[in-house]
Structure 1
Amino acid sequence: MQQITEFINRHKLILIEDTCESLGSLCQTGIRSERKMLGTFGSFGTFSFYFSHHITSGEGGMVICNTEEDYNIVRCLRAHGWTRHLTNRQTIEEKYEDIDSRFLFVNMGYNFRPLEVQGAMLNVQLDKLHIFNTCRRDNLRRIKETLSRDDRFSRLMSLMEASDGVDPAWFGLGVLLNRVYAHQRLEFLQYLERNGIENRPIISGNFVRQPCVSAFCNDEHPENYPGAEAIHTRGFFIGIHQVPLDQTVINKLANVILAFPFSPYHVVVVTGSNGMLGKYIQDIVLERSSADGSIIKITSTTPLKIVTKDSEWIFLTRHDGDLCK
């Protein structure tokens, strides 16, 4: 965060923090051991009170800012661009005497005004935020310790880790399957659901894959964002509860996660495949894959590729060129 704020200040930019899933997270400021809450470093901080986040008002969220001018702009935007309830309402209305001040709109706007029942719900939840986050941090610590004690864990997957100087208020356990098990991600998540373990993607995966992006940005491609692509194809979230979990529940969670029959995905390159040995291997792969119904795709173009559920066989001949080029 220190590097971000230095960059912002150097280039005279405005920092808007999206902290919708980080309510209560702390980060070092770079001044000795001082820490601040995420969402308070920039000119604006946004928070979500969606029902699955740290605390909830059923829907909606909150924006915080540093100046009265920004406060009025945000408040205007949330209510149709109306001047109602603005602290500088009178000054604005004097500029437009020919318009009924009861219906004066000075900005574009939306209807984001919360209901009183949402405010009442949130007031109660705010008092519990510290307790909730303390429980979540402890639950996460014990889940990580339980998983890490099993030798299978590091072979199959890894967990998201906090950056130096950051103390997240975890609301989800971020997991990344090891690369060789990416092909089983969907099957694994369905298995978790059947065993009572709810899950979700990490945020939205690679957002460039979403239809709304391709509708407006035709020149964006998922493969240009390898980090997001890894999260999309291998990552998932498991919720961290806001009440203390009994260790027997944590043990069951770990056992279910690690009991799934993972099978690594192999990419096998066969050179000289137009020779006797190459053709023999090709026949064996086709015969066995056809027998067990594991063939997904066979490409007829060169090089020949046979894709099965757990492997990809690439058959190269001398006509396919130098592999080192």
Structure 2
Amino acid sequence: MINYPLATDTWDDKEYDAINRVINSNRFTMGPEVEMFEKEFAEYFESKYAVMANSGSSANLIAISALILSDKYDLNKGDEVIVPAVSWATTYTVLHQCGLKLRFIDIDLDTFNMDLNELKNAITENTKAVFAVNLLGNPNDFDRLLKICDENNLILIEDNCESMGAKFNGKYAGTFGVCGTFSTFYSHHMATMEGGMILTEDDELNDIMKSIRSHGWTRNLGENSVFNTKKDKFYEMFNFIFPGYNVRPVEMEAAIGREQLKKLNMFLKERKGNGKYFLDKFSKINSISLQKNQDDSSFFGFPIIFEDDVQRKEFIKLCDENNIEYRPIVAGNFTKNKVIEYFDYSIYGDLKNSNILHNNGLFIGNHHFDVKKDLDEIYNLLIKLVED
């Protein structure tokens, strides 16, 4: 029995001490711990601003909402946003919730990110933005992607929830677009129970996001770029300037995040070491295909695409027998989900590669410690399967 989980706990006494620090402070709602975590997160990723939310999904929601509310960016309800057909649900649902039209394009079967050749051809006169997803730790080719966006006057937004710590040409994924979102859910590169973050260099977006994170009020803004707050503190306690939400994080999540951030270099080093080992070893199996590293992946997990669904089912049976946890590659081809009936959307092309990934793919987990011996055992199971 191999016993290989999808995700494992990254906490030690430091995180529990941080929780106790919050308990002893008697301040549990969003406060100084969140503010410090935002500052430290922005500094780590070499960004001007970071805005914390209660999840990566909420991070997507307030990022897209802020772009629509901003006078600086030409993104409005009814406009078209191009998305890859493979991602998590809340890449897409937030666009629907904000009144935007989705245009799905295929993925590249090497990187699993959006096919940039498809992107060039999919742009219409209604396209205003590209919501690029760095899938499973793998950054997009931002040289090409930014060139396409610049040539077509498109806003680039990044869903980087699965790719914390990935880099392209030495620059962190999540910092190429006007804003980039991150998740700190349990199974991700660092864990704060629940949590998300948005990075941006834009003063106005930062201020709008901080307002709409908390009901759309001015209370937490201070000096800002979007509204001239009055000196009357009583008035500004409940002064609402935007249609907002309540997606604030709590102090415990931020306190944990501050400790996790100190360990992130170590987490990434181990994940990348495991990832390189996985690619070197499993690429020797001719009957499967793997996600190719675009540049400097942070290896969320180890996806495998089999020759067909029969082979995948046989491998799943072996995994069940050996207590190896697995899951679909994100949500597969998302357009196959019933929820698509609610969206205003179009599809460019036949999504051939997304369907191959959907029908024949799965992934197993990566971890923040050395798993090479486990990968050897899984490799031996897989070799026996494909050779029989």
TM-score normalised by L of structure 2: 0.58
Q: Deviations over 1:128-172 (max 9, x none)?
A: 1111111111112223333345xxx212x1111023xx2111121
d(CA) in 1 for partners of 2:209, 2:360: 38
Partner of 2:365: 239
Amino acid at match of 1:115: V
Secondary structure of the corresponding residue to residue 275 of structure 2: helix
Structure 1 residue ranges without an equivalent (≥5):
29-34, 264-325
Secondary structure of the corresponding residue to residue 205 of structure 1: coil
TM-score normalised by L of structure 1: 0.68
* Residue number among 25, 31, 42 corresponding to 2:166 in the alignment: 25
Q: Deviations over 1:221-249 (max 9, x none)?
A: 9x83112111110111111111112x432
* Residue number among 67, 74, 91 corresponding to 2:202 in the alignment: 67
Secondary structure of the corresponding residue to residue 147 of structure 2: helix
* Residue number among 242, 264, 277 corresponding to 1:107 in the alignment: 242
Secondary structure of the corresponding residue to residue 174 of structure 1: strand
Map 1:7-156 → 2, pairs under 5 A:
7-28=148-169, 35-88=170-223, 91-94=227-230, 100-149=235-284, 153-155=285-287
Deviation at 1:218, TM superposition (A): 8.0
Partner of 1:251: 376
Give yes or no for contact 2:318–2:381 (8 Å, CA) kept in 1. no
d(CA) in 2 for partners of 1:154, 1:201: 21
Deviation at 1:93, TM superposition (A): 4.0
Of stretches 194-203 and 167-176 in structure 1, the one that deviates more from structure 2 is 194-203
Deviation at 1:70, TM superposition (A): 1.2
Amino acid at match of 2:275: L
Give yes or no for contact 1:133–1:242 (8 Å, CA) kept in 2. yes
* Residue number among 332, 356, 361 corresponding to 1:230 in the alignment: 356
Amino acid at match of 2:243: M
* Residue number among 150, 174, 178 corresponding to 2:303 in the alignment: 174
Partner of 1:203: 330
Percent sequence identity over aligned pairs: 32
Aligned length: 245
Distance 1:220 1:12, change over 3 A: closer
Distance 1:81 1:187, change over 3 A: farther
Distance 1:254 1:50, change over 3 A: same
* Residue number among 300, 312, 316 corresponding to 1:185 in the alignment: 312
Deviation at 1:74, TM superposition (A): 0.9
Amino acid at match of 1:154: N
d(CA) in 1 for partners of 2:346, 2:189: 36
Distance 1:91 1:141, change over 3 A: closer
d(CA) in 2 for partners of 1:132, 1:114: 23
Check if 1:160 corresponds to 2:291.
yes
Give yes or no for contact 1:56–1:122 (8 Å, CA) kept in 2. yes
Secondary structure of the corresponding residue to residue 260 of structure 1: helix
Amino acid at match of 1:52: S
The structure with more radius of gyration: 1
User: Whose RCO is larger (CA < 8 A, sep 6+)?
Assistant: 2
d(CA) in 1 for partners of 2:282, 2:145: 34
Structure 1 runs of 4+ aligned residues shifted over 6 Å read none
Structure 2 residue ranges without an equivalent (≥5):
1-141
Q: Deviations over 1:88-131 (max 9, x none)?
A: 46944449x9x943212211222221111101111111111111
Q: Deviations over 1:17-45 (max 9, x none)?
A: 111111111112xxxxxx21111112101
Q: Deviations over 1:33-79 (max 9, x none)?
A: xx211111121011111111111111121001112211111111211
Deviation at 1:80, TM superposition (A): 1.6
- Aligned-residue Cα RMSD (Å) equals 2.6
Distance 1:219 1:2, change over 3 A: closer
Secondary structure of the corresponding residue to residue 86 of structure 1: coil
Give yes or no for contact 2:283–2:290 (8 Å, CA) kept in 1. no
d(CA) in 2 for partners of 1:58, 1:42: 27
d(CA) in 2 for partners of 1:106, 1:211: 36
Give yes or no for contact 1:16–1:42 (8 Å, CA) kept in 2. yes
